[in-house]
Structure formats: C-alpha cells, structure tokens
Structure 1
Amino acid sequence: MTNETPRHTVEKIGGTSMARSQELLDTVLIGDRKGADLYNRIFVVSAYGGMTDELLEHKKSGKPGVYALFASAEGGWVWGDALTAVADKMYEHNARIFADEGARQSANRFARERIEGVRSCLIDLSRLCSFGHFQLQQHLLTVREMLASLGEAHSAFNTSLLLNIHGVRARMVDLTGWRDEGQFTLDEAIERALADVDLATELPIVTGYAQCSEALMGTYDRGYSEVTLSRLAVVSHAREAVIHKEFHLSTADPRVVPAEAVRVIGETNYDVADQLSNMGMEAIHPRAAKSLRQAGIPLRVKNAFEPDHPGTVIRSDLTATAPQVEIVTGLKSVFAFEFHDQDMVGVKGYDSEILEALKRHKVWIISKTSNANTITHFLKGSMKAIKRVETDLATAFPSAEITLRKVSLVSAIGRDIGHANILMQAMRVLSDAGIAPLGVHDLMRKVDLQVVVEPDDFDATIKALHLGLIENRAPVSQERLHAAA
C-alpha cells in the first residue's frame, strides 16, 4: 500500500444499504466524483440485507439458516437445501444488479464456486464427525465463520465488478481466508492484503468478514464487520473512519418523536457512542470503537442516501461546552429481574453468582441497581433464557425471592448532563405529561439518565423527554405533548 500521509478514509456500508446497489453508485461509491476524487478511500462491505440471516439464523425471529440446520443433530441434510436456497438468492441479487449478461454470468460463477466449495467442506466434515474420534461441536465456530464469509465475499465481488463496469479501478480485497494455507492475526491479514494496493489510483472493496487467528465471531458474533473497519483504519493510518447507514444519527427516533422536531447530532464523543450501544442503538460496536478512540481516529456516521449531509462526527477528544442532552432513546421490552434475600446483608457472593448465571445463559445486561438485600438487573433476552437463570438461582439460593417483570427503559444521553437542573427538568416534564416512573438511574458519571417506565408509557416518555430536554428545555404540559404527537 503506497500512501505515506493519512489522506484516505475507511468506509463501511451496512447490509440494508448494500441491497440498494444502484443508488449507492449515485451517492457513496461514485456520485459526482471524477478522476482522483474517486480514490483514497477503502470500502468495507457487509453482506446484502437478509443474506446473513439465511446463512446463519434470523437475527430477530431466530428462524434457522444453513448454520443452525447444520449444527442441529436433528437437521440431517436439510442444511444442503437451505444452502441451495442461498445460492438462488445470490443469483437473484446478481440479476437485479447486472443488466449485462457477461457480468451477470461472472457474478454467478463466483457465487457458485464459493457455495459449492462450502457445501463440499460441510459434507466432508459431516462424514468425519460420524466417527466418534471427531466431535462436530469443536468445529462449529469455524463453520459459522465460513458460512458468514459467503455473504461478504458475494457483495464485495459484485461491488468491485459493478464499479469496474462504470469505469472505476476497483478491486476486491478478500479477507475471508478462502483457500489460504496459513493463518494470520487480523492486523497481519490486513497488511498483507493491502501491501500492493495504491490508494491513489485504486479503490479497494474489502470483505466485512476477516478470517484471522482471533476468530472474530467468537467475540463479536455478527458485529465483526465493524471490527474489520476499525482495524483497517488503524493499520492503514486513515484520517477518518466512516459508517454509511440508511438513517442519520439523530436526537430521537423519528417514528416516535415528530420528524420535524428531530435533528441530526452534529458531533459527539465515543463515550456517548458506548451508551448508545448499551441501549441497542449501535453507532459502532464498543470494542471496535476502542481501536479508533485509542488511535485518535474520528468516526463519521452518515446517511448513505444523503451524500451532501456531513452526518455525525464522533471523536475521542470532544468534551461538552455545557451540560446538554444530545439524544433520547430506549428499549421498549426489558425484563426487570429482581433478586431479594434477607440474608444478603453483609454477605459476599450473591452478585457474582447472579452474574455467572446471566453469562452462562447469554443474557444481555443493560443496567443494574442494588440495596442492602435486593439486586435488580435490567435484562434483554429471551424469556426462555431468563427463566433458566431464575431456575439456577432458585436452586442455589432457596430462601431468595425472585421476581420478573416486563418494563421499558428510556435513556437521555449526553457528554455532560451532570447539572442538577437536568434531573429536575426530566422529572418535571414527566410529571407534567402524567408519567410516573418506576425508577430513575442517575449515576455519578454524568453521561446518561435512565428512566424505568411501564411499557405503555414508552413512546410518551421519549416524546416528553425529547420535548423538555432537547427541543426547548421548558416544562411540557400534557396538552403540548399530545399536540406534538
């Protein structure tokens, strides 16, 4: 890679946006750029929207994809039919993207080679594991990574081919490890892949999945593409990282708060980004952000289909000039898991036992509170998994009372919201709107203020806090709140 000064950017395009390939040509990929302006950019691409769901499992519904069917002992050879269905879906994407017959056939050949290569590998693995000396469970993470990589390889190949057709000197940079004989760390894999790339005259299209010794899916599962983005930026000494989404990073969800009242957050810091991730509104995976923060590389979040808008810049060195709420967001469906035991006072071990059970059953902890004899965790996860936690703890602590309740959690987030007036204002606007919080979390590190409410009050709470803390910072009456809706 020949690029001595940090002139270039590293930019990631998400799966939902990738599905709109033709529009991306007119905005992010080419737009009005010509000549040298087309280059000094590295793109990291995700699989087309929905493709990873078909390859692994549906992210929301849990419907099994190829991986889940292969991993299931009861699945038999059904996974093979599911893999064929993925191939057909890839061909359908190719037909939509490429009007030229030759380009379409080239894209189909690439997809077919990858699909059939994986199919052969999985058949061989199944046969091998039919012998007692080899256990399928030991290979499942590798299988999951290999299947996930198909989606990113497909979109990266297509994007580079599409750009070539439009006169851009693009090349696919394949980090998936396809038929590689050695294994490298992520940074080593990136350095090797970019070694002969001239960023001033070439546009690298990099697979969002990277096969490496760190086994990214073991730590980040499906958030691996953001790790690839961050390490690419650090290793290549980029001046800026960019994430292109299909929406802006705004002060609230425009589906809840009136769109005309919502505004784009111009700038913030990585501390705020971490709080957003905790609330499920991920600007970037916290561990991916860590690399950028430590390297002092700013992250820009942009709407992929509004190329002239500067978006939101997230920096490590940005402090607040005054206490201010920047965004109001939340989770509508949260479980309040309350553990109460009179014998807890002055006794150690309860907290660690609860945390171990939550970790064992892979339940996401959003926040927690405690007093002398009660520990309450606010959890996101399946009822099935949380019930297993309850069963484990009931066995370990037979005298404890464990209650489970569905609530909503709304968070007002900002770089510095430590001023007492913000808490007082929040309580005032909620009272004026007729909302009685079930609880309020206001920590000493003044980055967020969390309000626990009934699920039926979720939307009204977001509207009230946004109106009172962001729009006009004045008390909000119930009549004004209804008018805003």
Structure 2
Amino acid sequence: MIVSHTVEKIGGTSMSQYQAVRDNIVLHKRKPGEYYQRMLVVSAFGGITDGLLECKRTGAPGVYATFADAEDDSAWEQTLDNVSNRMAQINKEMFGLSPERALADSFLHDRIAGIRDCLHHLRQVCAFGQFQLAEQLQTIRELLAAMGEAHSAHNMVLYLRQSGVNAVLMDLTGWRTDEALPLDQVLEQAMERFDLSSQLPVVTGYAHCKEGLMSRFDRGYSEMTFSRLAVLSDAREAIIHKEYHLSSADPRLAGEDQVIPIGRTNYDVTDQLSNLGMEAIHPQAAKGLRQQNIPLRVRNTFEPDHEGTLITTDYRSPSPCVEMVAGRRNLFAVELFDQDMVGRVSHYAECFTDELDRMKLNLVAKDMNANTLTYYVSGNRKTVRTLVSALQHRFDNAEVNTHKVSLVSAVGSDMSIPGLLARSVGALNKANVPVRAVHQSLRAVEMQFIVDDEYYEQAVVSLHDELVQTHAETVALAVA
C-alpha cells in the first residue's frame, strides 16, 4: 500500500548541479528517516541528450543525427566517443577517487559498448536490400535518448548513497529486454519492486514502452513518465524542480529585481505557456494530473525554502490580474489572401491546417476575416517556403505572404479587467512598439500581441511594467 507521497522531476540543468540536488532537494532540513515517500524522475545531465541526439537549440548533430546521415561508421563513432568522454568526465567530477567512481565508469562503459555494437550490427544488416535503415531510426533514437537518463539516474543513486540515503535505481529504459509493454504496465510493474517507506527510487526519465514515448512526445518524454507515475501511484503532489522560478516575466528581459515569482495559478495558464514554447509541463502530461486532481508544484532548485508555484485545476486569482507576460520569438506570419475565400473560409482553413500538419509546423496563433487567413507558425525558413509553395499550388488565385514576427502574451487565471486592452496597447504605443495584430479571447486567460521581431524585448518589458509591476505596486500600497 502506497501512502501519501510525492513524485518529483529534476530537469537536466538542475541535475548538472548535483550537489544542489542532493543538498536542496533530497537532504534539505530532513532527518534520515524523512528522505523517503518520494520518487525522483531525473533527466540526463545538461547537454548530454543534445550530444546523443541533436542540439535542441541549434540543431547541431549528435550521435543520432550523425548515424542517420553518415555513409560510414567513423563520423558517428567519433561523436559517440565525444559524448562518452563527457559522461566519463561527469563521473570523475562527481566521485573523484572514491569506490563509486569505478561503479559509475563500469556502468557507463557497459552501456556505451552495447550501443556501439547495436549500431554496428544494424549497419551490417541494412547492407542487405531487404532491410531499410529508415525503418529503424526511431528505435535508435529512443535507445540513444535512454542512455542519458540511465547514466544520470545511476550516478545519482551512487551519489545519494554516499550521504546515507537508501537510493535505488528504477531503470525503465528496457535495456536488453525482449518485449515492449504498455507504459502504464511498465510503470506499475516497476513500482511493485520498491518500498517508498524505506527506499528512494531514482527513476529514468525515459521509459521503454509499446507506445514509443519519443515518437509521440519527442524530447518531452520524461514529463510523461513523471506524470503517469504520479497518476498511477495517486501521488499527493507532483513537483518539478527547475533552475528558475515560474515568474511574471523572463528575468533576463524584465530584470531579476522586477519579476515576481508566481505563487498560484491553474492548468489553463500552463496550457497557454506551452503554446508559447515555455512549458511548465507538457500539455499531455498536465492532462493526466488535471484529470486526477493532483496539484503540480514548480520549485527553484537553488531556493529550497521557497514554496514555488502551486498549479491546480480550480484556482482563480482572488482579484482579476495579469500573472505573467511571456512570448515567443522567430515566428512566421503566413498570410493567405483570396477574393474567392468569401463564404468558404472553413474550406481554406482546413486545407491550410492539412499543409501545416504534413510539414510538421507548429501553429501558435491565427486570425481571419472574410477573405484572409493568417497563421502564425514556428519552424525553419526552408519549411515555411515549402508551405507557401504548397498553398499557392492549391489556390491559384491566392496571394501568399510571409512576415517574421514575435508574439507577446499577457496571461492570467482571470484577466476580466475593464480597459485592459486599452492599457496594453497604450503601454506598447508609449514604448514605440508597433502592433501588427491583437487577439483577445472570451475566456479572459490570455491576450496576444503580434509585433515585428525587433520589438520583442521592448514589448515584454513595457507590458510587464504596465500590467504586472503597476498592479503589484497598487496592491502593496493598499496593504500598507
């Protein structure tokens, strides 16, 4: 019987600060008997998954991308060696000359050797025409991604044991297993092997399962593992440890002394943030927590005494306000104008959406009138050009244009504030930010402003000053 417990996810940047993970998350103000009734779901150490797959920020190829594109083995083997050396260096930094160093190195060498043999054999098999490498690439991607979490989880177990914590490895990577089971079954079977009253499971963020987490969620797979563990075990609370607070704006833009950590919000707000590419949690992961009515807390790894942000289903701010100003840069506004669209907008919209799905472009926002559809999408310029060509081919008389833009949003659990739109536009005008488009929904949880990319930072700062800072100062004066 699992009693009240938490399931906690630790991101890659935090994992790289392993001393802070130990001191601030596991040991902080706890006596030895209080280390338990928790499960820790860990990501790979910072930068390791980028090296194994490809860089999430720049697209620079890692082992996976090099293996997929290389005609011989030398390129991907060198890339694998580079990543392996970085992981070995982490072992050295964590354990020095202690006995745990030998255990960490042995585990790493065994896994890397297995991956190397697998890739070599796959190349040999695919030399025969009956076997296609392309059909195996998704499996290889999952195998490589799993290596990062296996390394970090195993290391964290050894590291915590040095401090007297009875940490145990919950390895969900499916290493050398014969069959893939459904995710929920994988997790339920794994949990049966542990006693949360006396053990602290450190769980690999990647879970090998029948559904194929990477094919469905790509780099968001660890959040799905975290979410399903919390749901299936009926956790008291789900906690995500990040290297920053969920704050009222990006502190790098608005200033660290100006932004305000958000104490409470709801899952509706986290959905809006996900759409902006700054996920508190993957929307599909949030769905399970929301349906099970499990609260989600986002905490700052480096401020262990701060309660962080509590996210629940039914929260609404005590009085209407803007909780956060966030945004997304480097979007493309794809504008489709056609006189023949009048009365047939839904047909054009369906065709537009079909092309977006086919090219795997992410739709962030859209607007429309009688003869014009404008979709704001994220993706690379080459794919957007292909989209434009496809739309022009479908609609001979249409005029299709693109513009590089940014989206800036005011977000809150209840923003039903009279005059909010006028104040927002006034603040942007005062900051000399031209507004290209505005979207305000009836739900009163988000207001979006489309601006030219060069004005993004000015827009964030001006809206934060007007909608968040001014409100906070007014509340402070009222309390005083």
Quote the Cα distance in structure 1 between the aligned partners of 2:151 and 2:295. Answer: 29
Is contact 1:412–1:449 with CA below 8 Å preserved after alignment?
yes
Query: 1:70 touches 1:77 (CA, 8 Å); kept in 2?
Result: no
Q: Which residue of 2 aligns with 1:370?
A: 368
In structure 2, the partner of 1:215 is 212
Q: Which residue in 2 is equivalent to 1:175?
A: 172
Q: Distance in 2 between matches of 1:140 and 1:86?
A: 19
Counterpart residue type for residue 400 of structure 2 = I
Shift of 1:428: 2.4
**Alignment-derived partner of residue 314 in structure 2:** 317
What CA distance in whole angstroms lies between the structure 2 residues aligned with 1:79 and 1:436? Answer: 48
1:383-402 to 2 correspondences below 5 Å: 383-402=381-400
Quote how far apart the aligned CAs of 1:172 are.
0.6
| Corresponding residue for residue 412 of structure 1 | 410
State the shift of 1:259 in Å. 2.0
Which residue matches 1:236?
A: 233
Q: How does 1:22-171 map to 2 (within 5 A)?
A: 22-72=19-69, 74=71, 76-171=73-168
Partners of 1:83 and 1:434 in 2: how far apart? Answer: 50
What is the Cα deviation at residue 289 of structure 1? 0.3
Return the offset for 1:349: 2.5
Distance 1:178 1:265, change over 3 A: same
Aligned partner of 1:190 in structure 2 is 187
* Contact persistence 1:300–1:312 (CA under 8 A): yes
Measure, in 2, the Cα distance between the counterparts of 1:170 and 1:67. Answer: 31
Structure 1 CA distance for aligned equivalents of residues 456 and 57 of structure 2: 21
Structure-2 residue corresponding to 1:259? 256
| Equivalent of residue 472 in structure 1, options 460, 470, 473 | 470
Counterpart code for 1:272: V
Native 8 Å contact 1:257 1:462 kept in 2: yes
Structure 1 residue 359, shift from structure 2 partner: 1.4
Mapping of residues 435-450 of structure 1, within 5 Å: 435-450=433-448
2-structure distance, mates of 1:334, 1:298:
32
Does the Cα contact within 8 Å between 2:171 and 2:204 map onto a contact in 1? yes
Aligned to 1:271: 268
Q: CA contact under 8 A between 2:412 and 2:446: conserved in structure 1? A: yes
The residue that corresponds to 1:355 in the other structure is 353
Q: Does 1:457 align with 2:437?
A: no
Instruction: Measure the CA separation in 2 of the matches of 1:269 and 1:135.
Output: 46
8 Å CA contact 1:69, 1:75 repeated in 2: no
Unaligned runs of 5+ in 1: 476-485
Q: CA deviation at 1:75?
A: 5.6
Deviations 1:177-233 (CA, angstroms, capped at 9, x unpaired): 011223211111111111021101100000000000110101100000000110000
- Residues 72-94 of structure 1, C-alpha deviations (whole Å, 9 max, x = no match): 15465421221121111111010
CA deviation profile, 1:4-53 (whole Å, cap 9, x unmatched): x3x11000110011111122221112223222211111000000000001
CA RMSD of aligned residues (A): 1.5
Amino acid at match of 2:453: P
- SS for the counterpart of 2:241 is strand
Instruction: State the one-letter code of the partner of 1:358.
Output: L
Q: Secondary structure at the match of 1:438?
A: strand
Q: Distance in 2 between matches of 1:343 and 1:75?
A: 53
| Runs (5+) with no aligned partner, structure 2 | 474-480
Distance in 2 between the 1:306 and 1:419 partners? 33
Q: Which amino acid aligns with 1:424?
A: A
Report the 3-state secondary structure (helix = DSSP H, G, I; strand = E; otherwise coil) of the residue aligned with 1:294.
Answer: helix
Check the 8 A contact 2:245/2:261 in 1, yes or no.
Answer: yes
Number of residue-to-residue matches in the alignment: 472
Which residue matches 1:303? Answer: 300
Q: 1:456 aligns to what SS in structure 2?
A: helix
CA separation in 2, counterparts of 1:246 and 1:276?
17
How far does the alpha carbon of each residue in 1:78-136 deviate from its partner, in whole angstroms, 9 at most, with x for none?
Answer: 21221121111111010000023421111011011111111111111111111111111
Give the 3-state SS of the residue equivalent to 1:264 in structure 2.
coil
- 8 A Cα contact 1:28 1:305, kept in partner: no
User: What letter is aligned with 1:332?
Assistant: R
Structure 2: which amino acid aligns with 1:307? Answer: P
Q: Verify the 8 A CA contact 1:9 1:240 in the aligned structure 2.
A: yes
Among all aligned residue pairs of Structure 1 and Structure 2, give the percentage whose two residues are the same amino acid. Answer: 47
Once the two structures are TM-superposed, the CA of residue 155 in structure 1 deviates from its matched residue by: 0.2
Q: How far apart, CA to CA, are the structure 1 residues paired with 2:123 and 2:342?
A: 53
Structure 1 residue identity aligned to 2:405: V
The answer to whether the 8 A contact 2:321-2:471 is kept is no
Q: 1:169 & 1:45 partners in 2: Cα distance?
A: 17
One-letter amino acid of the structure 2 residue matched with residue 242 of structure 1: I
Describe the superposition over 1:331-388 as per-residue Cα deviations: whole angstroms up to 9, x where unpaired.
1321111111111112352212211211122211110001111110111111011111
Partners of 2:374 and 2:209 lie apart in 1 by 39
What TM-score do the two structures reach when normalised by structure 1?
0.95
For structure 1, which segment, 365-374 or 449-458, has the greater mean C-alpha deviation from structure 2 after superposition? 449-458
* Counterpart-to-counterpart distance in 2, 1:77 and 1:351: 47
Separation in structure 1 between the aligned mates of residue 15 and residue 377 of structure 2, nearest angstrom:
32
Which of residues 421, 427, 430 in structure 2 aligns to 1:429? Answer: 427
Q: Distance in 2 between matches of 1:436 and 1:70?
A: 46
Aligned partners of 1:175, 1:373: CA distance in 2, in Å? 52
Counterpart Cα distance in 1 of 2:461 and 2:55: 31
Deviates most, 228-237 or 346-355: 346-355
Q: Secondary structure at the match of 1:356?
A: helix
Deviation at 1:474, TM superposition (A): 10
